[in-house]
Amino acid sequence: MAALIHAGPAARPGPLSGLRSLLASASRDSRVFSALRGRATASTPRSGPDPYDGRCGDAPEATRRHRAAAAATGPSHPSRSSGGSAPGAPRSTTAPPSRGPATAVSARTGGPTGTRTRRRRRQGPPLPGPQAGYRPRHLMEERFPPDIDMETPSIARMYDYLLGGKDNFEADRKACEVLASGIPELVSFANDNRAYLSRAVEYVASQGVEQFLDLGAGLPTANNTHHVAQRANPHARVVYVDHDPIVLAHGRALINDSAETAFLLSDIRDTDRILGAPETQRLIDTDLPVCVMLVSLLHCLPDHDDPFGMVRRLLDRLAPGSCVIFSHIVSDDPASGVWLTDQILSFGTPWGRVRSPEEASVVFEGLELASPWGDGRDEDGPRAVDCASWRHPDVDPRFRPDDPGVKLWELAGVAFKR
Ligand SMILES: C[S@@+](CC[C@H](N)C(=O)[O-])C[C@H]1O[C@@H](n2cnc3c(N)ncnc32)[C@H](O)[C@@H]1O
């Protein structure tokens, strides 16, 4: 597997490669560490009574400004007026179904095996290049606070790795390798989903919605929600919510540079806590439309958490004109869905499951779906589509990827509460 992870000239072993890798890793990890240290001292005390007690800089002026503007101009949204093994190695050795390589997962290394895997990898975009660098365990333990679990892959850090980010650990990268052995399109999935998020936020902001609750926000990357929303509407305000402490640390260090944004460390299932948090109270007025972002999120929750009921109850508390931006990993091939779900759970990573398109579409019940066409057309009516095709300038909306061999995709749609 190492050969696959580090396939590239830069990774070829040479006299300096170990040192270079260590330095690169040290620089990256120290950046993470500084952010975490900032969090520990300035914001969320690890030993405090409430580990989710997120705080950020105050912005009373902004609050006054946007409330005054809202009062002066009235509603801007059209509908407002209406009211045990190696880290990251899987315990499961199930081979991926359908397009997956015949012997894709090695029980010994937890990674893909054989030339067949190597041939398949070329079919999809490659995983991000070598970034990891080996760090002796004792050094890592010294550098990171104990509440960061570096051994268990985290969804936020895996996603960061797939997007080409650097805020991930070896366990996250190994886990992505395992998943990519069965899903060569994995990197495209992540990038298509992220691009969908941008298009959807831009669309919603252009419809006059200026409050965004970005649930399961993920690590900051290019075109974060408040960047996109504020380009369309400078008054847009965003509360980012995630339960991953590294997301919080980086969010505050890198994004919280705007009076109109805040970061909350919270489980999304704790709706009361999210709506009642001082940051939310400061930036979000639930009497005005709110965009609830559920982008690549609800598959992280198992059925017994009732993720769709949770969304319904949240929307019940929001004003008409509120909306959801939604995407969810789905499959029309149960075996493929079960394979991905089993793999992620085998890492020890908290997760839900891949659902069928019909199961995921429950989120839109009682809401009004927006057209997935970007040019005003509405052929076939509003519907949920493959996220890569939602209001894409060059791709017609399609329910699923054109390639029948692709069994998993992110079903996406934007829908309004009327
Ligand atoms: C695949 S990432 C998606 C990130 C971002 N929404 C996007 O689409 O670019 C899923 C995110 O949801 C977060 N997450 C998963 N379960 C969560 C929970 N129960 N509470 C809060 N955040 C959660 C993860 O930490 C991760 O950052």
Q: What are 239-264's pLDDT values in tens digits?
A: 999 999 999 988 888 776 578 999 99
CB of 247 sitting under 6 A from ligand 1: yes
What's the CA-to-centroid distance between 410 and ligand 1, angstroms? 14
Q: What is the pLDDT along the chain (418 residues), one digit of tens a residue?
A: 332 222 222 332 232 233 233 334 433 443 443 444 333 322 222 223 333 333 222 223 333 333 333 333 332 322 222 323 333 334 444 555 544 333 333 322 333 333 333 333 335 677 876 444 444 444 444 445 557 899 999 999 999 999 999 999 999 999 999 999 999 999 999 999 999 999 999 999 999 999 999 999 999 998 999 999 999 999 999 999 999 999 998 888 877 657 899 999 999 999 999 999 999 999 999 999 999 999 999 999 999 999 999 999 999 999 999 999 999 999 999 999 999 999 999 999 999 999 999 999 999 999 999 999 988 788 888 999 999 999 999 999 999 999 999 999 999 999 999 9
Tell me how long the chain is.
Answer: 418
CB of 218 sitting under 6 A from ligand 1: yes
Beta 291-295 vs 323-331: how paired, if at all? parallel
What's the farthest any 2 CA atoms get from each other in the chain?
A: 69
CB of 221 sitting under 6 A from ligand 1: no
For the CA atoms of 198, 410, 262, 78, the dihedral, rounded to the nearest 10 degrees, stands at 60
**What is the third-level CATH fold of 187-416?**
Rossmann fold (3.40.50)
Q: Give dist(CA 405, CA 387) in Å, integer.
A: 17
pLDDT at 253: 81
Burial of 289 (0-12, 13-18, 19+ CB in 10 A): buried
Q: What is the CA radius of gyration of the chain?
A: 22
Instruction: Using a cut of 0.85, tell me whether the model's pTM lies above it.
Output: no
Residue 19 token pair: 């040192």
3-state secondary structure of 394: coil
3-state secondary structure of 15: coil
CB contact at 8 A, 322 and 243:
no
> For the packed helices 170-182 and 334-346, what is the interaxial angle rounded to 10 degrees?
160
H/E run at residue 215: strand 211-215
CB of 296 sitting under 6 A from ligand 1: yes
Residue that the structure tokens 């315990």 belong to: 91
Tell me the residue ranges of DSSP E strands in 218-334: 237-242, 261-265, 291-295, 323-331
Provide the CA 33 distance to its chain's centre, in angstroms: 21
Q: Give dist(CA 257, CA 269) in Å, integer.
A: 27
Task: Count the Cβ atoms, other than its own, within 10 Å of residue 20.
Answer: 12
Tell me the residue ranges of DSSP E strands in 231-366: 237-242, 261-265, 291-295, 323-331
Taking alpha carbons only, the member of 350, 354, 348, 347 closest to residue 408 is 354
H/E run at residue 162: helix 155-162
List, in order, residues 6 or more apart from 10 with CB less than 8 Å away.
129, 130
Q: What is the best residue among 243, 292, 303, 345 to mutate for testing ligand 1's pocket, by most ligand atoms within 8 Å of CB? A: 243
CB contact at 8 A, 326 and 412:
yes
What's the CA-to-centroid distance between 133 and ligand 1, angstroms? 26
Phi, psi of 318 (to 5 degrees): -110, 160
Q: Name which residue sits closest to atom 12 of ligand 1, judged by CA.
A: 216
Q: Name which residue sits closest to atom 16 of ligand 1, judged by CA.
A: 300
For the chain, the structural domain boundaries read 2-41+96-184, 187-416
pLDDT at 146: 59
Q: What one-letter code names the amino acid at 293?
A: M
Q: What one-letter code names the amino acid at 190?
A: A
What's the CA-to-centroid distance between 74 and ligand 1, angstroms? 34
